[in-house]
Chain A
Amino acid sequence: MNRRRIYSNWFMVPAMAIFTVFFLIPTVISLFFSLTVWNFDSFTFCGLDNFKTFFSDESLYSSIINTMIYAILTCVLKLVLAFFLAVFLTSKIKTKNFLRSVVFFPNLISTVAVGITFSALMHPTKGLINQVITTFGGTSVDWLGNTDIALYSVILTDVWKGVGVATVIFIAGMQSIDKTFYEAAAIDGASAWQRLKAITVPLSRPAMNSVIILSFIGGLRTFDLIWAMTGGGPGYATEVMASTVYKQYAAGYYGLSTAGNVIMFALIALMAFPLQKFLLSKEVD
């Protein structure tokens, strides 16, 4: 049978047309506009000035650092928490289906709604979290107002919302592990911890890689949670790349904003692609 005749390339045209016009073309021309000072009607070429500004201005530069902290921390926390949650939720406890749903559900609600709720819970004087801390004799913490803590408060909220997806990915991975491995190990007298280390960890590697890549990229692109909780503040303590792109746009610095976007591409290309290559190469053996 002639494959070329049955499967026409024309079938890909609608998808590719939309994808090209609304994603590929903007991505390519962003490389050009990041080298200009422009509004939507005209532009002046200015070489690498936008990028120089980005790396010399402290508030802009710190957004790059914050993005990395955010991506790495959310990724690590989700990975570790989700792994142990998945081990717990694949055991023989009775309420596991209910608990899986409970852990997963926050992922479906709007990020803005989550942001609003957690800002209220983290309120410096009235917030529920501080109420609990002070009842137990601790001192209340200004979760979102303290420049040293604010970023980490948002990170924790992100983990709260996103750990469910990572958990279900791990659960799917762990359920596909052959049960006989565990039985054999148990007969040989391996402890629960040894079985976890020698069987569960290596055999849920594909799931682990998906979780790492997904949450790392998600972390690099984060915007709405930051925007709903702190708006980048206090000062620029929680400013990330995506919020800088928005702020520079709102302030009318379109060139800087586009340059910020290009730096985001570069971060993803320089960090996520090699990370994925590395993880996949580990998966083979």
Chain B
Amino acid sequence: MKKRRFWYLFGDIIGLFIAFIIFIVPFIFMLVNSLKERKDANLLSISWPDALRWENFIEVFQANDYQIVTAFKNSFILVIGSVILLIITGSMCGYIIQRRSDKVTGVVNALIMTGLMVPAAILPTIWVLQRIYLYKTITGMILIEVALNLPFTIMLYRGFMNSIPLELEEAGYIDGCSRWKLYSKIIFPLLKPVTSTVIVIKAVTVFNDFTNPLYFLPGSENATVQLTLYNFMGQFESSYNLLFADVILITIPMLILFIFFNKRIVDGMVAGAVKG
């Protein structure tokens, strides 16, 4: 028994050591370099800065006429709009698909599940957006994010509906509840756990999305946070301190989310993966 305890302790130490080298060092690297002077940061070493330069963050905010402020605003509008729409449309659709299993829902389900695998057809999507005058608009971008994230969302809702008993709806139906009321007053409140999972996971996905805004939302006044980071990469090639200050600014919201919703995020990703 004693020998075994020794091995577990050994495992702890080795595990912490390797995790530190592989997973924590890159974050320390970002942090220390975001607080250095330009010349020191460009050495790309991991040494502690001589003096902490918090001004770097202010400089990042002021760069390109406060572009990052606009970018954060755009990103937040995008995230909030997409997540709200995803919850409403996704929960309604997942509810019906799970409750009614006939030909129609079978076809709908099959179509939606292809969306989990098949990537978006980029240029034809731009073509469609132009035809309905939504290209380069936040509205268009929100609708694209919703379309691309619906499959995962519907899958989560459909899976969770399995655990909700039919009796409640039957009782509501007999009492004369309308179909809309059945859904909005009885079902939707019961979906709360999965709704909060969807909120957190989809907020992270949409916030971190780089590819889709690159294609569907070009233009500097429309830039999202990820695009400004990409632009900074070219612009601040020789001032790594500012580049890393920007990286830190973008990472911190995620860190806060993770600290509060760790379990939600992990459970949601696992649920989505295993049922798919």
Contact = CB atoms under 8 A, between A and B. Distances in A.
Interface of A: 1, 3-9, 11-12, 14-16, 18-19, 21-27, 29-30, 33, 40, 88, 91-95, 99-106, 108-113, 116-118, 120-121, 123, 126-128, 131, 160, 165, 168-169, 172-173, 206-207, 210-211, 213-214, 217, 221, 223-224, 227-228, 242, 245-246, 249, 254, 257-258, 261-262, 264-265, 268, 272-273
B266 A168 contact: yes
Given A9-B96, A22-B144, A33-B124, A95 B15 contact: yes
Contacts of B15: 88, 93, 95, 99
Contacts of A127: 44
A172 B267 CA distance: 9
A22 B29 contact: no
Interface string B111-149: 110010111111111111010100000000001101110
30 contacts: A1-B173, A8-B96, A11-B95, A12-B96, A12-B108, A15-B112, A15-B150, A18-B147, A19-B111, A21-B132, A26-B125, A26-B127, A27-B120, A29-B124, A30-B121, A40-B127, A88-B15, A93-B11, A101-B262, A103-B19, A108-B204, A117-B26, A120-B33, A121-B26, A128-B46, A168-B269, A213-B276, A221-B119, A261-B122, A262-B121
B129 to A, nearest CB: 8
Contact of B179 (A8, A109, A221, A262): A8
Overall SS of chain B's interface: helix
Contact of A217 (B117, B169, B208): B117
B64 interface: no
A210 B211 contact: no
B54 interface: no
B211 A224 contact: yes
Given A101-B262, A110-B226, 9 more contacts: A6-B169, A12-B97, A18-B146, A25-B124, A112-B210, A123-B44, A128-B25, A128-B46, A261-B122
B16 to A, nearest CB: 6
